[in-house]
Structure 1
């Protein structure tokens, strides 16, 4: 299980998060997603701690806390939902279609 950390400053780094969460236990990993176009952090992260007790302590201490000028949103991360592949917009079920496809 991992922790979702939202409402992060765009200046935050992996190392900043590791230091902030290390106060509550051993940090196993930090994922700080970035925007594909700008390379800038997207304003949220996922942190994985060594034990569930450490995760709970970090969540209780940091949820709603002010850090780097922002009020953090910290909770257990929800499992990633399945998404349909990009570009598959359905298609209406008719093959061919179009006005010129009428048969009289």
Structure 2
């Protein structure tokens, strides 16, 4: 299941999100969306979790969670 994470602090890197989401289950991939011209974070990321129940648990627990001084938005990504 693909999750969309928004309102990210621009200084975060993929391993920061990996550590945040790992307690909820297996992670297949983490991809922070970056500007193609300057490689700066656009403040959102996609995380792929292969087990839907674990992904939904992460959404339930981390949506609105304060991380790096920001309130994260976590949802199932539109198909």
Measured against the shorter chain, the TM-score band is over 0.9
Could you tell me which runs of 5 or more consecutive residues in structure 2 were left unpaired when the two chains were aligned.
Answer: none
In structure 2, what is the Cα distance between the partners aligned to 1:55 and 1:66?
A: 18
User: Which 4+ stretches in 1 moved above 3 angstroms?
Assistant: none
SS in structure 2 of the partner of residue 45 of structure 1: strand
Could you tell me which runs of 5 or more consecutive residues in structure 1 were left unpaired when the two chains were aligned.
Answer: 80-104
In structure 1, what is the Cα distance between the partners aligned to 2:69 and 2:51?
A: 28
In structure 1, what is the Cα distance between the partners aligned to 2:55 and 2:25?
A: 8
Structure richer in strand, relative to its length: 2
Q: CA deviation at 1:3?
A: 0.4
TM-score, structure 1 normalization: 0.73
Aligned residues: 79
Higher relative contact order (CA 8 A, sep 6+): 2
In structure 2, what is the Cα distance between the partners aligned to 1:24 and 1:2?
A: 14
SS in structure 1 of the partner of residue 41 of structure 2: coil
Q: Describe the superposition over 1:18-40 as per-residue Cα deviations: whole angstroms up to 9, x where unpaired.
A: 11000100111011111112211
Question: What residue in structure 1 maps to residue 38 of structure 2?
Answer: 38
Structure richer in helix, relative to its length: 2
Question: What residue in structure 1 maps to residue 74 of structure 2?
Answer: 74
Give the aligned CA root-mean-square deviation in angstroms.
Answer: 0.7
